[in-house]
Amino acid sequence: MASAAPAVHLHLGHEQRTSGSGGTHPHLHPVSQQTQADIPLAGAKEVEEAVAKAVAVQESWRRTAPEVRRDILNRLADLLEANKAELARMAALDGGTTLMVGERGVDTAVGWTRYYAGWCDKMSGELISTFDTRGELSYTVPEPIGIVGIIITWNGPLISLGMKVAAALAAGNCVICKPAEITPFAPEMFARLCKEAGVPDGVLSIFPGTGEAGDAIVRHKKIRKISFTGGPITARKILTACAEEIKPSVMELGGKSASLVFPDCDLQAAAERAVFWTVGCLSGQGCALPTRQLVHASVYDDFVARLKAIIGQFKVGDPTDPTVAVGPVINKAAVDRILGMFERAKADGAAKFELGGGRCGGELADGNFIEPTLIVDADPDHEISQVEIFGPAVVVMKFETEEEAIAIANNSEYGLAAMIQSNDLQRVHRISERLSAGGVYVNGGFQINPYTPFGGIGISGFGKEGGKAGIDEFLHYKTVTIGVGAPIFPK
């Protein structure tokens, strides 16, 4: 695996710093586990400086013509697209994302950036009342919130940047963004391309940082809203701070999504999708992946056999090898956590491991590689079926009736996504209404299209990204009411 990594900077507006008050973080090569870079970290000091830069340009950016913001974001999309191969390489260096998945991630970020570029000159309020109808003129005006804080996690950082930063800038906000220090290279390139695209100095600051930096972003009184992607544990800390500051937030958290497989679907296509999204995509390290496969009893054995055959074709190894479908997981702690879940499921007799269930051997033995794992006959109430594995594994359960399938699917604290594999249109509509999830995706429908709202319920979070709802998260609607000047005490 080529190890050339770009120098990472703290981007405070257009200023690039090679060091910060938070010290450094040693970034380990995702395959060799050798230190390949020391990543500078921001602390509270840099947050304060970035906010000062944003405050200085906040009003001029708000008053910038929407067509200008549109053109900047379209140029950014062009630059992302032109640098697809290099951005995919950055994803591989960041955390071991395979080149194919990395390139798909670039396409996703490009799509979101173009979509929200299109919203820049289309935001509008509404006329609510007129002098003739109610004796006063009332209307609403969409306005940017001001300065927003964006904190993203390590899996697919470029996708998260496209989903969040583009919408916030399109709405006319300034942005202070903290990506995860363990995946710094794609965000570094994104920051450079934003400057090249013409984002004005001070409007956008991007820097990896310490927990202190994250806390400073959340608690800063001039940062008026937080958008966070990550897990429930960190989310609770952020929400506590937001509550103390009476600050709104968007929370895009985890998921344990169920895919309901019925006999009338294309079983081979459904099996291929199941394996790609749970084993191949980010090595299973994604929030809206169909990690629980609920399969009708009449096709259960057939479907399991198809999954087993497909998983067997997925090559594990160096993510920069174009023939590799499954890269490493993010770090050794993830390996230990995943293997611990597997061992507990085995010890408790909660599932049968049809494939995998351990660490890869041979030349991959010293890396963070987990065998692609097929877990069948799983207990729906056990940890293996209730908690995110966040590794290349798929859990399969059997059901007899629609009612049972719905009950198993809804037996989760999460509620980000649910999937249905069926060609029965009435069944699809009937079940979609009853699944407890922020979105239902049928026969391969994509979870994170830029034009559809995405977000969960329960411990999967709240708020939306995508569609008009996604840009509304970064706006407030001011009401203006004009009276006729009638005296308060009529004569």
Q: For CA atoms 367, 332, 356, 101, give the dihedral sign.
A: negative
Please list the alpha-helical segments (H only) found in 198-331. Answer: 211-219, 232-245, 267-275, 300-311
- Are 142 and 475 contacting, i.e. CB atoms less than 8 angstroms apart? yes
User: Nearest-5° angle of CA 201, CA 203, CA 206?
Assistant: 90
Active-site pick, 49, 188, 252, 388: 252
Read off the tokens for 17. 């710093």
- Identify the CA nearest to 215 among candidates 232, 234, 191: 234
Coil, helix or strand at residue 276: helix
Residues ≥6 apart with Cβ < 8 Å to 475: 123, 142, 143, 144, 145, 171
Active-site pick, 194, 265, 287, 360: 287
- Are 317 and 372 contacting, i.e. CB atoms less than 8 angstroms apart? no
Read off the tokens for 96. 């071991």
Question: DSSP label at 200?
Answer: P
Read off the tokens for 400. 């007899």
Coil, helix or strand at residue 279: helix
Residues ≥6 apart with Cβ < 8 Å to 413: 386, 458, 459
- Are 212 and 44 contacting, i.e. CB atoms less than 8 angstroms apart? yes
Strand 137-144 with 475-482, pairing: antiparallel
Q: Is 252 a catalytic residue?
A: yes
Length of the chain: 491
For 166, list phi and psi in degrees, rounded to 5.
-60, -45
Strand 417-421 with 439-442, pairing: parallel
Q: Bridge-partner residues for 151, per DSSP?
A: 178, 228
Spatial distance between the Cα atoms of 378 and 258, rounded to a whole number of angstroms? 13
- Are 275 and 394 contacting, i.e. CB atoms less than 8 angstroms apart? yes
Amino acid identity at 170: A
Instruction: Extract long-range pairs of 217-222: CB within 8 Å, 24+ residues apart.
Output: 217/47, 217/149, 217/151, 217/176, 217/178, 218/149, 218/151, 218/242, 218/245, 218/247, 219/244, 219/245, 220/47, 220/48, 220/51, 220/149, 221/245, 222/51, 222/54, 222/55, 222/146, 222/147
What are the residue numbers of the active site?
A: 252, 287
